Amino acid sequence: MARNALVGQSGGPTAVINQTLVGVVEKALAAPEIDRVYGAIHGIQGILDGQLMDFAEERAENLELVAGTPSSALLSVRLKPTPDICRRIFERFRQLDIHYFFYIGGNDTAETTHLINEMAIAEGYDLRCFHCPKTIDNDLLVTDHCPGYGSAARWVAQAFMGDNLDNRSLGGIKINIVMGRDAGWLTAASVLARVFPDDGPHLVYVPEVEFSLAGFCADIESVYRRLGRCVVAVSEGVHGPGGSPIID
């Protein structure tokens, strides 16, 4: 007997998160094991509040338009479920005969999906949980290039292209702090801005390498003496000896 599925989005949006959403919806609607596909507005908060939509009512052409739209079409949330929240979620799932749960997001979303799966097992509720990866940081385990990273990396490279041209005209030192949490993927993407040998970023600092403030200053001075200018890319997650954060 076919059962129902539910999909939600969580965490920060990306330029391509709706591609994943529409992919899940289209494949779920075509699966013989699944009857209806619901969307949770504002993720698991929408499940609790009963803010749900039925994708059977959406036309295929509308879904294609959504797939090409940035940000989170179902809206988002940052909420970690407690055991009580999980029980309330399962109550809603029982009402709607939902036994397939797809949650699109990054690290926190993966943890939320895991918690709901563990609680479903403990409660004896038959539920298949699927975490659909999304993060600009590209820091999910066992994921090579995560959806969301490529478009964000392109944006970083383009931003540094512009900064490099400004810096070439005005001189001086320009330091950009780049997102990415404890992973240096986005910061490393800044080097894609280089076209000529003297293009910035001239220096790149990522969390995977221990950061020294003295070495940082010496590196900048060396580049400035050579070129009369310096463009620097620094990850927000750089740390000193013992893991102490440099940027609070």
Strands (E) in 41-144, as ranges, are 52-54, 98-105, 128-133
Catalytic residues: 137
Residues in the chain: 248
b/e per residue, 177-203, with b = 16+ CB within 10 A?
A: bbebbbbbbbbbbbeebbeeeebbbbb
Helix or strand holding residue 236 (H, E): none
**What's 239's DSSP letter?**
B
Angle value at C-alpha 69, between 66 and 74, nearest 5 degrees: 60
Cα 69 to Cα 21, 53, 72, 73, 83, distances in angstroms: 11, 18, 8, 8, 35
Distance CA 10, CA 146 (A): 15
